[in-house]
């Protein structure tokens, strides 16, 4: 790369190095709900739940990471949010079944983790409740940028007691879909073809 004339004033943009936080490791955590709301999406309504880790080595992880991301090149994003799709009359039966199971698991986890709490479909009452949750590894591929790698995401809710007792297993890694994997492999093949090494006898440039 050319070292341009104003190199004396050159310095990395503030925040361009990132926050330095690694993804929250896969596993089971004791946490707390910091907010919940119903929101609209292209696929219908969904319940967004904001959580953070409350016990152990990674306590406060999502709030600390959010604070570290402030002032960077991109708007800070709170990463401890998971969303449950709310089934309605238009949802196919098979999809509605597993979406309903996700809510059943949430209600069970909350009732088991908080004395006197009973699920009543009022998300405004969820803030401050204890809950366990699992985090799994997730492969990703972003076609627009070509970026790919592995991160982690909140996977499911569990009773706090089961997490503390070590009865919750780490979920399996979520791998790329067949379609995304094919797109990534094709993009990598195209990139490799575009940078084919020129044979030694053809190294003279045509300009």
* pLDDT at residue 196 tops 80: no
pLDDT tens readout for residues 75-132: 889 999 999 999 888 889 998 998 999 999 999 999 999 999 999 999 999 999 999 9
Please indicate, yes or no, if residue 4 is contained in any of the structural domains. Answer: no
- Looking at the whole model, is its pTM more than 0.85? no
Rounded distance, CA 38 to CA 41, Å?
Answer: 10
- Cα 5 to Cα 79: distance, rounded to the nearest angstrom: 40
CA nearest neighbour of 191 among 147, 127, 155 = 147
CA 19 from centroid of its chain's CA atoms: 16
CA angle 149/132/21 to nearest 5° reads 35
Across the range 129-139, mean pLDDT stands at: 96
> Tokens at residue 93, please?
């039966």
Residue 170 lies in a domain: yes
| Number of structural domains found in the chain | 1
Q: Assess if residue 2 is contained within a domain.
A: no
User: Length of the chain in residues, anyone?
Assistant: 207
Residue 16 falls inside a structural domain: no
CA distance 162 to 172: 18
Q: Does 100 fall in a domain?
A: yes
CA distances from 181 to 77, 178, 193, 197 (A): 27, 5, 18, 26
| Residue 131 structural domain | 21-194
**Position 63 in a domain:** yes
Using one digit for the tens of pLDDT, what is the confidence trace for 168-178?
A: 999 999 998 88
pLDDT at residue 59, rounded to an integer: 98
Tokens 């209600």 identify what position? 107
E-assigned strand segments in 78-119: 81-85
The strand pairing partners of 158, in sequence order, are 132
The answer to the question of residue 1 being in a domain is no
In a domain? residue 135:
yes
């Amino acid at each position: 790369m050319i070292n341009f004339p104003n190199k004396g004033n050159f310095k990395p943009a503030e925040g361009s190095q990132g926050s330095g936080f690694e993804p929250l490791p896969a596993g089971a955590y004791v946490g707390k709900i910091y907010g919940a709301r119903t929101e609209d999406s292209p696929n219908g309504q969904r319940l967004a739940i904001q959580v953070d880790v409350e016990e152990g080595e990674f306590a406060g992880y999502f709030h600390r990471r959010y604070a570290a991301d402030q002032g960077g090149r991109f708007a800070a994003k709170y990463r401890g949010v998971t969303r449950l799709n709310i089934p309605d009359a238009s949802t196919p039966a098979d999809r509605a079944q597993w979406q309903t199971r996700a809510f059943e698991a949430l209600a069970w986890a909350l009732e088991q983790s908080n004395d006197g709490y009973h699920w009543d479909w009022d998300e405004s009452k969820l803030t401050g409740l204890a809950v366990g949750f699992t985090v799994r590894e997730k492969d990703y591929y972003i076609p627009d940028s070509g970026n790919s790698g592995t991160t982690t995401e909140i996977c499911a809710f569990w009773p706090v007691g089961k997490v503390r007792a070590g009865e919750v297993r780490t979920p399996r890694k979520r791998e790329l879909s067949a379609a995304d994997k094919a797109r990534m492999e094709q993009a990598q093949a195209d990139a490799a073809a575009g940078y084919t090494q020129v044979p030694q006898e053809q190294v003279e440039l045509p300009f």
